[in-house]
Amino acid sequence: MKACGIADPRRREVLKLTGLAATLGVLPLTARVAMAADSGKLKIGIIGSGHVGSALGGVWAKAGNEVMFSSRSLDNDRKLSAEVGAGAQAGTPQEAAAFGQVLLFAVPYSAFPELIKSLGSSLNGKVVINASNPFPQRDGDIANQARDKGAGLFDAQLLPGAHVVRAFNAVPAAHMASAHEAPGKVGMPIAGDDKQAIAVASRLVREIGFEPVVVGGLDMGKYLMPGTPLAGEHTPEEVRSIAATLKP
C-alpha cells in the first residue's frame, strides 16, 4: 500500500496533462497557434495560389509546415501541391480556411466581398496574413475605399473576427521563393494590432528568408503596398529608418 499523501507518479503525469489540456482549451486561438508555432509546425491555408501564394506556400511546406493551396482552379492547385510534394495539398478556399491555423490571402482586392461571404465564420479567431494590395485600376471602387481608409484598417473591416497582419505587400514577389537561400538580408515590413498574431507572422516571414520589421499597428498598413516609401527591397535597418519618418 502506498503511503498516504504520496501520489502515484503516473497519476501525477495524467493530472499534469489534464491540466494542460484544460488550459489550452481556454486559451485564445492566437495563443494556441503561437504555441504550435513554437513547436515547429503550423497548418497554413493559402487562399490565392498565384505568384505570391504559390511561392510562399512552397517554402513553408519545405520548412516543415502543412500547407493547403486553394484558388478558383482546384486542378491547378492539385498540380501545384504535387510539384511542392510533402506537406502540401489542395482544396477549395472554404476547405483551406477550415484547415489552416494561419491563413494567407493573396487574391485581388475585388474578390474579397464574395470570398469572405463564402467563408462564413471560419476566419473567427484565426491569424490572417493579408498579402493583397488594392489597385483601383484593377479592383475598382473597393480599392479606392481601402486606400481612403488605409489598407490595414480596411483589412480589419473586411475580415471581422480575424487577427489580421499585413505582410508580403511591399516587397516584390520575384524573390519570395528564393529569399531563404540568403536569409535576413531584406527587411519585411509588417503591421498588426495583435501581439501573438505578429509573433506567428514574424516566424513565417523568417522562414521565407526575410527579416520581419514591425512598423506599427494596422493604421500603418496603408504604407505596406507599392508606391509608398516602404515599397521595394530594403535592409531591416533601412525599413526601420523609413518607418520612423511615417505617421499613422
What is the rounded distance in angstroms from the CA atom of residue 192 to the CA atom of residue 9?
A: 44
Q: Is residue 123 part of a domain?
A: yes
Is position 65 within any domain? yes
The reply to whether 140 falls in a domain is: yes
Residue 168 lies in a domain: yes
Whether residue 233 lies inside any domain: the answer is yes
Note whether residue 1 is domain-resident: no
CATH of residue 93: 3.40.50.720
Q: Range of 97's domain?
A: 29-244
Q: Which residues of the chain have pLDDT under 70?
A: 1-40
Q: What is the pLDDT of residue 21?
A: 43
pLDDT at 38: 56
Distance (Å, rounded) from C-alpha 76 to C-alpha 57?
A: 14
The tally of domains found in the chain comes to 1
Q: How far is CA 16 from CA 28, 115, 241, in A?
A: 20, 42, 47
Residue 231 falls inside a structural domain: yes
**Residue 14 belongs to a domain:** no
**Are residues 123 and 159 in contact, defined by beta-carbon separation less than 8 angstroms?**
yes
Amino acid 174: pLDDT: 85
